[in-house]
Chains A and B, each alone.
Chain A
Amino acid sequence: MALVRSIWWNKNKYKLSGLILLFPIVFLYQSLTPKFPPAWPAQQLGEFKVSPLPLDLKAPYVHHDDFVKDFMVIFEEGEISNMRQGYANIGVEALPMSILQRSENGILHGNKHGQHVHAIAAKQLNATDSLWVSIQNWQGEWSVARWPLPPELLP
Protein backbone atom coordinates (compact mmCIF):
# COMPACT_ATOMS: atom_id res chain seq x y z
CA MET A 1 0.00 0.00 0.00
CA ALA A 2 2.88 2.34 0.85
CA LEU A 3 4.21 1.99 -2.68
CA VAL A 4 0.76 2.72 -4.17
CA ARG A 5 0.24 5.75 -1.93
CA SER A 6 3.49 7.17 -3.17
CA ILE A 7 2.58 6.79 -6.85
CA TRP A 8 1.08 10.28 -7.18
CA TRP A 9 4.02 11.72 -5.33
CA ASN A 10 6.48 9.83 -7.50
CA LYS A 11 4.75 10.98 -10.63
CA ASN A 12 4.43 14.63 -9.72
CA LYS A 13 7.12 15.52 -7.21
CA TYR A 14 9.38 16.93 -9.91
CA LYS A 15 6.68 19.31 -11.08
CA LEU A 16 6.10 20.89 -7.68
CA SER A 17 8.93 23.43 -7.98
CA GLY A 18 6.82 24.94 -10.74
CA LEU A 19 4.36 26.12 -8.09
CA ILE A 20 6.91 28.81 -7.23
CA LEU A 21 6.02 30.29 -10.62
CA LEU A 22 2.62 31.29 -9.26
CA PHE A 23 4.35 33.91 -7.11
CA PRO A 24 5.51 36.09 -10.04
CA ILE A 25 1.86 36.36 -11.11
CA VAL A 26 0.85 37.50 -7.62
CA PHE A 27 3.76 39.95 -7.37
CA LEU A 28 3.07 41.34 -10.83
CA TYR A 29 -0.52 42.00 -9.81
CA GLN A 30 0.65 43.64 -6.57
CA SER A 31 3.09 45.90 -8.41
CA LEU A 32 0.45 46.93 -10.93
CA THR A 33 -2.09 47.72 -8.20
CA PRO A 34 -0.04 49.22 -5.36
CA LYS A 35 -1.82 50.01 -2.09
CA PHE A 36 -0.46 52.41 0.51
CA PRO A 37 -1.62 53.29 4.02
CA PRO A 38 -3.42 56.65 4.27
CA ALA A 39 -1.37 59.87 4.32
CA TRP A 40 -0.99 61.61 7.68
CA PRO A 41 -2.49 65.08 8.31
CA ALA A 42 -0.58 67.93 6.67
CA GLN A 43 1.43 70.33 8.85
CA GLN A 44 3.01 73.69 8.16
CA LEU A 45 6.81 74.07 8.21
CA GLY A 46 7.50 77.67 7.28
CA GLU A 47 6.30 78.15 3.72
CA PHE A 48 5.90 74.41 3.26
CA LYS A 49 2.83 72.36 4.11
CA VAL A 50 3.74 68.69 4.06
CA SER A 51 1.96 65.41 4.58
CA PRO A 52 3.93 62.17 5.12
CA LEU A 53 2.67 58.89 3.70
CA PRO A 54 4.30 55.65 4.94
CA LEU A 55 4.96 53.26 2.04
CA ASP A 56 3.98 50.28 4.22
CA LEU A 57 3.24 49.29 7.82
CA LYS A 58 6.30 47.05 8.21
CA ALA A 59 9.10 47.45 10.74
CA PRO A 60 12.20 49.53 9.85
CA TYR A 61 14.92 47.82 7.80
CA VAL A 62 18.69 48.25 7.65
CA HIS A 63 20.02 50.59 4.98
CA HIS A 64 23.64 51.73 5.00
CA ASP A 65 24.30 51.28 8.71
CA ASP A 66 20.97 52.75 9.90
CA PHE A 67 17.51 51.34 10.46
CA VAL A 68 15.17 53.30 8.21
CA LYS A 69 11.47 53.52 7.37
CA ASP A 70 10.34 54.78 3.96
CA PHE A 71 7.88 57.64 3.46
CA MET A 72 6.61 59.67 0.57
CA VAL A 73 6.44 63.34 1.58
CA ILE A 74 3.65 65.21 -0.18
CA PHE A 75 4.17 68.98 -0.50
CA GLU A 76 0.71 70.58 -0.42
CA GLU A 77 2.19 74.10 -0.27
CA GLY A 78 5.59 75.59 -1.02
CA GLU A 79 8.10 75.18 -3.81
CA ILE A 80 10.34 72.17 -3.29
CA SER A 81 13.15 74.11 -5.01
CA ASN A 82 13.04 76.57 -2.07
CA MET A 83 14.27 73.81 0.25
CA ARG A 84 18.01 73.93 0.99
CA GLN A 85 17.92 70.71 2.98
CA GLY A 86 15.23 68.44 4.39
CA TYR A 87 15.47 65.44 6.72
CA ALA A 88 13.23 62.99 8.55
CA ASN A 89 13.78 60.71 11.52
CA ILE A 90 11.67 58.64 13.89
CA GLY A 91 12.34 58.88 17.61
CA VAL A 92 11.50 60.77 20.77
CA GLU A 93 13.02 63.95 19.31
CA ALA A 94 14.26 65.40 16.04
CA LEU A 95 17.88 64.36 15.52
CA PRO A 96 20.42 67.19 15.66
CA MET A 97 21.70 68.49 12.31
CA SER A 98 25.19 67.15 12.99
CA ILE A 99 23.74 63.60 12.87
CA LEU A 100 21.20 64.19 10.11
CA GLN A 101 23.81 65.69 7.79
CA ARG A 102 26.28 62.83 8.08
CA SER A 103 24.81 60.49 5.44
CA GLU A 104 22.14 60.12 2.80
CA ASN A 105 19.81 58.31 5.17
CA GLY A 106 17.05 60.61 6.33
CA ILE A 107 17.50 63.14 3.53
CA LEU A 108 14.44 64.26 1.55
CA HIS A 109 15.04 63.53 -2.13
CA GLY A 110 13.20 63.34 -5.45
CA ASN A 111 12.23 66.19 -7.71
CA LYS A 112 9.83 69.11 -7.88
CA HIS A 113 6.84 66.76 -8.22
CA GLY A 114 7.44 64.62 -5.15
CA GLN A 115 9.81 63.75 -2.35
CA HIS A 116 10.80 60.48 -0.76
CA VAL A 117 12.72 59.74 2.42
CA HIS A 118 14.37 56.84 4.24
CA ALA A 119 13.60 58.21 7.70
CA ILE A 120 16.25 57.20 10.27
CA ALA A 121 14.64 55.05 12.97
CA ALA A 122 15.46 52.53 15.67
CA LYS A 123 15.20 48.78 15.07
CA GLN A 124 11.81 48.74 16.78
CA LEU A 125 9.26 51.55 16.84
CA ASN A 126 7.81 52.64 20.20
CA ALA A 127 4.59 54.36 21.24
CA THR A 128 6.64 57.33 22.51
CA ASP A 129 8.24 57.79 19.07
CA SER A 130 7.16 60.39 16.52
CA LEU A 131 8.09 61.16 12.95
CA TRP A 132 10.10 64.38 12.78
CA VAL A 133 10.51 66.31 9.54
CA SER A 134 13.09 69.12 9.54
CA ILE A 135 13.29 71.50 6.58
CA GLN A 136 15.74 74.36 5.99
CA ASN A 137 15.11 77.08 3.41
CA TRP A 138 17.80 78.87 1.39
CA GLN A 139 17.86 81.65 4.00
CA GLY A 140 19.12 79.09 6.52
CA GLU A 141 15.92 78.95 8.62
CA TRP A 142 14.92 75.58 10.03
CA SER A 143 11.32 74.42 10.60
CA VAL A 144 10.45 71.19 12.35
CA ALA A 145 7.15 69.29 12.52
CA ARG A 146 6.17 66.23 14.53
CA TRP A 147 3.67 63.45 13.82
CA PRO A 148 2.95 60.89 16.58
CA LEU A 149 3.16 57.33 15.24
CA PRO A 150 -0.27 55.80 14.59
CA PRO A 151 -1.00 52.52 16.45
CA GLU A 152 -1.05 50.48 13.24
CA LEU A 153 2.65 51.23 12.77
CA LEU A 154 3.62 49.97 16.21
CA PRO A 155 4.57 46.32 16.84
Chain B
Amino acid sequence: MAKISNRFWFMLHGWVSLPIWLLFCFICITGTVAVVSHEITWLTNPQSRAVNPDDLPAKPVSELMTIVEERYPSAAVTGAMTFESYLVNVVMFSDTDKPFAMAYVNQYTGEIQQINQGITFIGFMRSLHSWLLFPWRGGYSVGYYLVCSMALFMLASLVTGLIVYKRFWRSFLTPKLRIHQGRKTLLADLHKLSGVWSIWFIAIMSVTGLWYLVQAIFWHADIDIEPHAPLIEAAQLPVIQKGDTSSATASVSFAEALTLAQTRFPEFKASYVTKPEHSRDMYHLSGSGDHLFYDQYSYNLSINPWTGEVASASSPETMTGIQTLMHIADPLHYGTLGGIWTKFIWFIFGLILSGMSITGFMMWGLRNVRAFKQAEEKYLATEMLGEMR
Protein backbone atom coordinates (compact mmCIF):
# COMPACT_ATOMS: atom_id res chain seq x y z
CA MET B 1 0.00 0.00 0.00
CA ALA B 2 1.42 3.37 -1.02
CA LYS B 3 2.37 5.67 1.85
CA ILE B 4 0.27 8.80 1.96
CA SER B 5 2.40 11.92 2.03
CA ASN B 6 2.49 14.40 4.87
CA ARG B 7 1.48 17.08 2.36
CA PHE B 8 -1.72 15.17 1.63
CA TRP B 9 -2.62 14.97 5.34
CA PHE B 10 -1.83 18.65 5.72
CA MET B 11 -4.12 19.53 2.78
CA LEU B 12 -6.82 17.25 4.17
CA HIS B 13 -6.50 19.03 7.52
CA GLY B 14 -7.22 22.29 5.68
CA TRP B 15 -10.05 20.85 3.59
CA VAL B 16 -11.97 19.60 6.61
CA SER B 17 -11.52 22.68 8.73
CA LEU B 18 -11.04 25.82 6.62
CA PRO B 19 -14.34 25.91 4.69
CA ILE B 20 -16.37 25.84 7.92
CA TRP B 21 -14.00 27.71 10.21
CA LEU B 22 -16.22 30.77 10.74
CA LEU B 23 -19.37 28.74 11.47
CA PHE B 24 -17.37 26.34 13.64
CA CYS B 25 -15.80 29.24 15.54
CA PHE B 26 -19.25 30.72 16.22
CA ILE B 27 -20.58 27.38 17.47
CA CYS B 28 -17.52 26.99 19.74
CA ILE B 29 -17.90 30.51 21.17
CA THR B 30 -21.65 30.15 21.80
CA GLY B 31 -21.06 26.74 23.40
CA THR B 32 -18.30 28.17 25.57
CA VAL B 33 -20.62 30.92 26.81
CA ALA B 34 -23.51 28.45 27.20
CA VAL B 35 -21.40 26.30 29.54
CA VAL B 36 -21.24 29.14 32.06
CA SER B 37 -24.63 30.67 31.20
CA HIS B 38 -25.99 29.83 34.67
CA GLU B 39 -23.05 31.58 36.30
CA ILE B 40 -23.35 34.60 33.97
CA THR B 41 -27.04 34.81 34.89
CA TRP B 42 -26.10 34.68 38.60
CA LEU B 43 -23.55 37.47 38.07
CA THR B 44 -25.74 39.76 35.98
CA ASN B 45 -29.18 39.24 37.56
CA PRO B 46 -29.36 39.55 41.38
CA GLN B 47 -32.97 38.26 41.25
CA SER B 48 -31.69 34.91 40.00
CA ARG B 49 -29.53 34.34 43.10
CA ALA B 50 -30.74 31.92 45.75
CA VAL B 51 -29.36 33.83 48.71
CA ASN B 52 -29.62 31.86 51.94
CA PRO B 53 -28.24 33.93 54.84
CA ASP B 54 -30.06 31.88 57.51
CA ASP B 55 -28.78 28.57 56.13
CA LEU B 56 -32.31 27.24 55.64
CA PRO B 57 -32.97 23.88 53.97
CA ALA B 58 -34.32 23.98 50.40
CA LYS B 59 -38.10 23.69 50.19
CA PRO B 60 -39.51 20.99 47.89
CA VAL B 61 -40.67 22.17 44.46
CA SER B 62 -44.26 21.26 45.34
CA GLU B 63 -44.19 23.93 48.07
CA LEU B 64 -42.73 26.51 45.68
CA MET B 65 -45.49 25.73 43.18
CA THR B 66 -48.11 26.29 45.92
CA ILE B 67 -46.48 29.64 46.78
CA VAL B 68 -46.95 30.78 43.16
CA GLU B 69 -50.54 29.47 43.06
CA GLU B 70 -51.38 31.42 46.22
CA ARG B 71 -49.74 34.60 44.94
CA TYR B 72 -51.45 34.35 41.51
CA PRO B 73 -54.84 32.69 42.15
CA SER B 74 -55.85 32.83 38.48
CA ALA B 75 -52.61 31.22 37.33
CA ALA B 76 -52.17 27.66 36.06
CA VAL B 77 -48.86 26.26 37.33
CA THR B 78 -47.59 23.80 34.75
CA GLY B 79 -44.23 22.68 36.15
CA ALA B 80 -40.94 23.56 37.79
CA MET B 81 -37.21 23.41 37.20
CA THR B 82 -34.31 23.34 39.64
CA PHE B 83 -30.70 24.30 38.94
CA GLU B 84 -27.51 24.70 40.95
CA SER B 85 -27.95 25.43 44.66
CA TYR B 86 -26.94 29.07 44.13
CA LEU B 87 -29.65 29.71 41.53
CA VAL B 88 -33.37 30.14 42.23
CA ASN B 89 -35.88 27.47 41.26
CA VAL B 90 -38.16 28.28 38.35
CA VAL B 91 -41.92 27.67 38.54
CA MET B 92 -43.56 27.73 35.11
CA PHE B 93 -47.09 29.01 34.81
CA SER B 94 -49.59 30.81 32.59
CA ASP B 95 -52.14 33.40 33.61
CA THR B 96 -54.92 35.44 32.05
CA ASP B 97 -52.38 38.08 30.99
CA LYS B 98 -49.34 35.80 30.66
CA PRO B 99 -49.34 33.03 28.02
CA PHE B 100 -46.10 31.68 29.51
CA ALA B 101 -44.24 32.96 32.54
CA MET B 102 -41.48 31.82 34.86
CA ALA B 103 -41.45 32.70 38.54
CA TYR B 104 -37.96 32.84 40.04
CA VAL B 105 -38.61 31.47 43.53
CA ASN B 106 -35.91 31.36 46.19
CA GLN B 107 -36.05 27.76 47.35
CA TYR B 108 -34.74 28.66 50.82
CA THR B 109 -36.90 31.65 51.69
CA GLY B 110 -39.88 30.94 49.42
CA GLU B 111 -39.76 34.50 48.08
CA ILE B 112 -40.83 35.11 44.47
CA GLN B 113 -37.91 37.25 43.29
CA GLN B 114 -38.84 37.83 39.64
CA ILE B 115 -41.46 37.03 37.02
CA ASN B 116 -39.85 36.43 33.66
CA GLN B 117 -42.02 36.36 30.54
CA GLY B 118 -39.36 36.60 27.89
CA ILE B 119 -36.56 34.45 26.62
CA THR B 120 -33.85 33.76 29.21
CA PHE B 121 -30.14 34.18 28.61
CA ILE B 122 -29.60 30.51 29.46
CA GLY B 123 -32.27 29.34 27.03
CA PHE B 124 -31.14 31.71 24.31
CA MET B 125 -27.46 30.71 24.50
CA ARG B 126 -28.24 27.00 24.54
CA SER B 127 -30.65 27.25 21.62
CA LEU B 128 -28.24 29.42 19.64
CA HIS B 129 -25.40 26.97 20.24
CA SER B 130 -27.41 23.78 19.73
CA TRP B 131 -29.47 24.59 16.62
CA LEU B 132 -28.61 28.19 15.66
CA LEU B 133 -32.29 29.08 16.29
CA PHE B 134 -33.36 27.22 13.13
CA PRO B 135 -37.03 26.29 13.68
CA TRP B 136 -38.12 22.80 14.70
CA ARG B 137 -40.91 21.06 12.85
CA GLY B 138 -41.70 17.38 12.56
CA GLY B 139 -38.98 16.41 15.03
CA TYR B 140 -36.00 17.98 13.30
CA SER B 141 -34.20 21.26 12.82
CA VAL B 142 -31.74 21.89 9.98
CA GLY B 143 -29.67 23.95 12.43
CA TYR B 144 -29.39 21.02 14.84
CA TYR B 145 -28.03 18.85 12.01
CA LEU B 146 -25.63 21.61 10.98
CA VAL B 147 -24.22 21.93 14.50
CA CYS B 148 -23.98 18.17 15.09
CA SER B 149 -22.23 17.62 11.76
CA MET B 150 -19.40 19.83 13.04
CA ALA B 151 -18.42 16.84 15.20
CA LEU B 152 -17.37 14.98 12.05
CA PHE B 153 -15.20 17.88 10.85
CA MET B 154 -13.75 18.32 14.34
CA LEU B 155 -12.83 14.65 14.61
CA ALA B 156 -11.27 14.71 11.13
CA SER B 157 -9.32 17.86 12.04
CA LEU B 158 -8.03 16.22 15.21
CA VAL B 159 -6.92 13.03 13.47
CA THR B 160 -5.29 14.76 10.47
CA GLY B 161 -3.72 17.38 12.74
CA LEU B 162 -2.08 14.73 14.89
CA ILE B 163 -0.85 12.84 11.81
CA VAL B 164 0.71 16.03 10.40
CA TYR B 165 2.23 17.06 13.73
CA LYS B 166 4.77 14.28 14.14
CA ARG B 167 5.76 13.46 17.71
CA PHE B 168 3.07 15.77 19.05
CA TRP B 169 3.41 14.29 22.53
CA ARG B 170 6.60 16.31 22.95
CA SER B 171 4.32 19.31 23.48
CA PHE B 172 3.31 17.82 26.81
CA LEU B 173 6.88 17.52 28.04
CA THR B 174 8.53 20.49 26.32
CA PRO B 175 5.84 22.92 25.23
CA LYS B 176 7.12 25.28 22.55
CA LEU B 177 5.81 28.80 22.02
CA ARG B 178 8.21 31.02 20.05
CA ILE B 179 7.01 34.57 20.46
CA HIS B 180 9.93 36.44 18.86
CA GLN B 181 10.25 34.65 15.54
CA GLY B 182 7.49 36.31 13.60
CA ARG B 183 3.72 36.04 13.44
CA LYS B 184 3.73 32.90 11.34
CA THR B 185 5.83 30.96 13.83
CA LEU B 186 3.87 32.27 16.81
CA LEU B 187 0.53 31.29 15.23
CA ALA B 188 1.80 27.84 14.26
CA ASP B 189 3.15 27.20 17.76
CA LEU B 190 -0.06 28.46 19.39
CA HIS B 191 -2.21 26.32 17.10
CA LYS B 192 -0.17 23.17 17.68
CA LEU B 193 0.22 23.69 21.43
CA SER B 194 -3.49 24.39 21.90
CA GLY B 195 -4.37 21.37 19.79
CA VAL B 196 -2.17 18.94 21.67
CA TRP B 197 -3.29 20.11 25.10
CA SER B 198 -6.91 19.99 23.95
CA ILE B 199 -6.82 16.46 22.50
CA TRP B 200 -8.99 15.11 25.34
CA PHE B 201 -11.43 18.01 25.02
CA ILE B 202 -11.73 17.82 21.23
CA ALA B 203 -12.22 14.05 21.50
CA ILE B 204 -15.02 14.49 24.06
CA MET B 205 -16.71 17.22 22.00
CA SER B 206 -16.44 15.11 18.82
CA VAL B 207 -17.78 11.92 20.38
CA THR B 208 -20.66 13.63 22.21
CA GLY B 209 -21.37 15.69 19.08
CA LEU B 210 -21.55 12.48 17.03
CA TRP B 211 -23.96 11.09 19.61
CA TYR B 212 -26.13 14.20 19.24
CA LEU B 213 -26.11 13.59 15.48
CA VAL B 214 -27.31 10.01 16.01
CA GLN B 215 -29.94 11.30 18.45
CA ALA B 216 -31.14 13.83 15.84
CA ILE B 217 -31.58 11.02 13.32
CA PHE B 218 -33.57 9.04 15.90
CA TRP B 219 -35.83 12.03 16.57
CA HIS B 220 -36.29 12.69 12.88
CA ALA B 221 -37.15 9.05 12.25
CA ASP B 222 -39.67 9.17 15.14
CA ILE B 223 -37.81 6.48 17.10
CA ASP B 224 -38.08 6.85 20.88
CA ILE B 225 -34.83 6.08 22.70
CA GLU B 226 -36.74 6.00 25.95
CA PRO B 227 -40.26 4.58 26.01
CA HIS B 228 -42.92 7.23 25.70
CA ALA B 229 -44.70 8.09 28.95
CA PRO B 230 -47.86 6.00 29.34
CA LEU B 231 -51.34 7.42 28.83
CA ILE B 232 -54.09 6.78 31.38
CA GLU B 233 -56.81 4.54 29.96
CA ALA B 234 -59.94 6.59 29.19
CA ALA B 235 -61.99 4.01 31.09
CA GLN B 236 -60.03 4.82 34.27
CA LEU B 237 -61.33 8.40 34.30
CA PRO B 238 -64.31 9.00 36.58
CA VAL B 239 -67.76 9.73 35.12
CA ILE B 240 -70.06 12.08 37.05
CA GLN B 241 -73.80 11.43 37.18
CA LYS B 242 -76.06 13.38 34.83
CA GLY B 243 -77.47 16.47 36.50
CA ASP B 244 -74.35 16.92 38.61
CA THR B 245 -72.49 19.75 36.87
CA SER B 246 -69.28 19.57 38.89
CA SER B 247 -66.03 18.43 37.33
CA ALA B 248 -63.80 15.65 38.58
CA THR B 249 -60.50 16.53 40.22
CA ALA B 250 -57.47 14.30 40.63
CA SER B 251 -57.17 12.70 44.04
CA VAL B 252 -53.36 12.72 44.19
CA SER B 253 -51.66 16.09 44.64
CA PHE B 254 -48.32 17.02 43.15
CA ALA B 255 -46.77 17.01 46.65
CA GLU B 256 -47.95 13.41 47.10
CA ALA B 257 -46.54 12.48 43.70
CA LEU B 258 -43.18 13.93 44.74
CA THR B 259 -43.26 11.89 47.95
CA LEU B 260 -44.05 8.76 45.92
CA ALA B 261 -41.07 9.51 43.68
CA GLN B 262 -38.78 9.85 46.67
CA THR B 263 -40.10 6.63 48.15
CA ARG B 264 -39.28 4.86 44.89
CA PHE B 265 -35.85 6.50 44.54
CA PRO B 266 -34.62 7.82 47.93
CA GLU B 267 -31.76 9.76 46.28
CA PHE B 268 -34.12 11.44 43.78
CA LYS B 269 -33.62 15.22 43.39
CA ALA B 270 -36.28 16.78 41.18
CA SER B 271 -34.90 18.87 38.32
CA TYR B 272 -37.78 19.08 35.83
CA VAL B 273 -41.35 18.29 36.77
CA THR B 274 -44.63 18.85 34.96
CA LYS B 275 -48.28 18.58 35.89
CA PRO B 276 -50.77 16.74 33.64
CA GLU B 277 -51.68 18.60 30.44
CA HIS B 278 -55.01 16.78 30.06
CA SER B 279 -57.12 14.37 32.08
CA ARG B 280 -55.37 11.28 30.69
CA ASP B 281 -51.89 12.68 31.34
CA MET B 282 -49.71 11.98 34.39
CA TYR B 283 -47.34 13.83 36.67
CA HIS B 284 -43.96 13.58 34.98
CA LEU B 285 -40.94 13.90 37.24
CA SER B 286 -37.34 13.94 36.08
CA GLY B 287 -34.41 14.27 38.41
CA SER B 288 -30.89 13.31 39.31
CA GLY B 289 -29.43 10.97 41.89
CA ASP B 290 -26.01 10.05 43.19
CA HIS B 291 -24.53 9.01 39.85
CA LEU B 292 -21.66 11.31 38.91
CA PHE B 293 -21.65 10.78 35.15
CA TYR B 294 -25.41 10.89 34.58
CA ASP B 295 -27.38 14.03 33.73
CA GLN B 296 -30.08 15.70 35.84
CA TYR B 297 -32.82 13.79 33.99
CA SER B 298 -31.56 10.26 34.58
CA TYR B 299 -34.40 9.35 36.95
CA ASN B 300 -37.86 9.48 35.39
CA LEU B 301 -41.27 8.71 36.81
CA SER B 302 -44.82 8.99 35.51
CA ILE B 303 -47.39 8.99 38.30
CA ASN B 304 -51.14 8.58 37.79
CA PRO B 305 -52.91 11.56 39.44
CA TRP B 306 -56.18 9.61 39.83
CA THR B 307 -54.75 6.52 41.54
CA GLY B 308 -51.23 7.39 42.71
CA GLU B 309 -49.87 4.45 40.71
CA VAL B 310 -46.26 4.82 39.58
CA ALA B 311 -47.03 3.92 35.98
CA SER B 312 -43.42 4.01 34.83
CA ALA B 313 -40.06 4.55 36.47
CA SER B 314 -36.54 4.44 35.09
CA SER B 315 -33.12 5.05 36.59
CA PRO B 316 -29.47 4.45 35.62
CA GLU B 317 -29.80 0.89 36.96
CA THR B 318 -32.53 -0.01 34.45
CA MET B 319 -31.21 1.82 31.39
CA THR B 320 -30.26 0.15 28.14
CA GLY B 321 -26.87 0.93 26.60
CA ILE B 322 -28.26 3.57 24.26
CA GLN B 323 -30.26 5.22 27.06
CA THR B 324 -27.07 5.36 29.14
CA LEU B 325 -25.31 7.08 26.24
CA MET B 326 -28.14 9.59 26.11
CA HIS B 327 -27.84 10.42 29.81
CA ILE B 328 -24.06 10.64 30.06
CA ALA B 329 -23.55 12.75 26.92
CA ASP B 330 -24.70 16.06 28.41
CA PRO B 331 -22.50 16.11 31.54
CA LEU B 332 -19.51 15.29 29.32
CA HIS B 333 -20.43 17.88 26.70
CA TYR B 334 -21.38 20.66 29.15
CA GLY B 335 -18.72 19.86 31.75
CA THR B 336 -21.26 19.72 34.55
CA LEU B 337 -20.07 16.41 35.98
CA GLY B 338 -17.90 17.99 38.69
CA GLY B 339 -19.90 21.15 39.37
CA ILE B 340 -18.66 24.67 38.88
CA TRP B 341 -14.95 23.76 38.67
CA THR B 342 -15.32 21.38 35.75
CA LYS B 343 -17.55 23.95 34.07
CA PHE B 344 -14.73 26.46 34.27
CA ILE B 345 -12.26 23.91 32.84
CA TRP B 346 -14.70 23.31 29.95
CA PHE B 347 -15.07 27.07 29.53
CA ILE B 348 -11.29 27.59 29.25
CA PHE B 349 -10.87 24.74 26.78
CA GLY B 350 -13.88 26.04 24.85
CA LEU B 351 -12.04 29.33 24.47
CA ILE B 352 -8.89 27.49 23.35
CA LEU B 353 -10.86 25.52 20.76
CA SER B 354 -12.52 28.71 19.47
CA GLY B 355 -9.06 30.29 19.27
CA MET B 356 -7.73 27.32 17.30
CA SER B 357 -10.19 27.93 14.49
CA ILE B 358 -9.07 31.56 14.40
CA THR B 359 -5.33 30.79 14.50
CA GLY B 360 -5.86 28.10 11.87
CA PHE B 361 -7.49 30.57 9.53
CA MET B 362 -4.85 33.23 10.25
CA MET B 363 -2.14 30.72 9.38
CA TRP B 364 -3.89 30.01 6.09
CA GLY B 365 -4.22 33.75 5.47
CA LEU B 366 -0.54 34.49 6.12
CA ARG B 367 0.52 31.56 3.99
CA ASN B 368 -1.55 32.82 1.09
CA VAL B 369 -1.10 36.59 1.35
CA ARG B 370 2.09 36.47 -0.67
CA ALA B 371 0.50 34.24 -3.30
CA PHE B 372 -2.42 36.64 -3.66
CA LYS B 373 -0.06 39.63 -3.99
CA GLN B 374 2.03 37.86 -6.60
CA ALA B 375 -1.09 36.94 -8.56
CA GLU B 376 -2.32 40.53 -8.46
CA GLU B 377 1.10 41.86 -9.61
CA LYS B 378 1.17 39.33 -12.44
CA TYR B 379 -2.32 40.41 -13.48
CA LEU B 380 -1.29 44.10 -13.47
CA ALA B 381 1.79 43.36 -15.52
CA THR B 382 -0.28 41.40 -18.05
CA GLU B 383 -2.77 44.23 -18.31
CA MET B 384 -0.04 46.83 -18.87
CA LEU B 385 1.64 44.66 -21.51
CA GLY B 386 -1.70 44.27 -23.27
CA GLU B 387 -2.26 48.03 -23.32
CA MET B 388 1.26 48.70 -24.74
CA ARG B 389 0.63 46.30 -27.60
Contact = CB atoms under 8 A, between A and B. Distances in A.
Interface in A127-155: 138-140
29 contacts: A3-B378, A4-B378, A4-B379, A7-B372, A14-B361, A18-B22, A18-B26, A20-B132, A21-B23, A21-B26, A23-B143, A24-B128, A24-B143, A27-B133, A58-B137, A61-B137, A61-B138, A63-B139, A64-B222, A82-B245, A82-B247, A85-B279, A103-B231, A104-B231, A111-B76, A113-B76, A113-B99, A114-B99, A140-B239
Interface string B43-87: 000000000000000000000000000000000101000000000
Contacts of A30: 135
- The B interface, classified by DSSP as helix, strand, loop or mixed, is loop
Which 7 A-B pairs have CB atoms at the shortest separation, nearest pair first? Answer: A61-B138, A18-B22, A111-B76, A109-B277, A4-B379, A27-B133, A109-B278
A58 B78 CA distance: 29
B277 A111 contact: yes
B348 interface: no
A14 B375 contact: no
Give the interface size bracket for B toward A: 35 or more
Given A62-B222, A85-B237, A113-B99, A17 B134 contact: no
A40 B200 CA distance: 56
Contacts of B364: 14
Nearest to A30: B135
Give the interface size bracket for A toward B: 35 or more
B368 interface: yes
B246 A138 contact: yes
Contact of B19 (A17, A24, A85): A17
Contacts of A61: 137-139
Nearest to A101: B234
A84 B244 CA distance: 14
Given A85-B279, A109-B278, A113-B76, A23 B132 contact: yes
B312 to A, nearest CB: 14
A84 B235 CA distance: 11
B248 interface: yes
A32 B118 CA distance: 9
Contacts of B231: 103-104
A16 B132 CA distance: 16
Interface string A8-36: 00110111111011011001101110000
B22 A14 contact: yes
A17 B22 contact: yes
Q: Which of A10, A23, A27, A63 has the most CB of B within 10 A?
A: A27
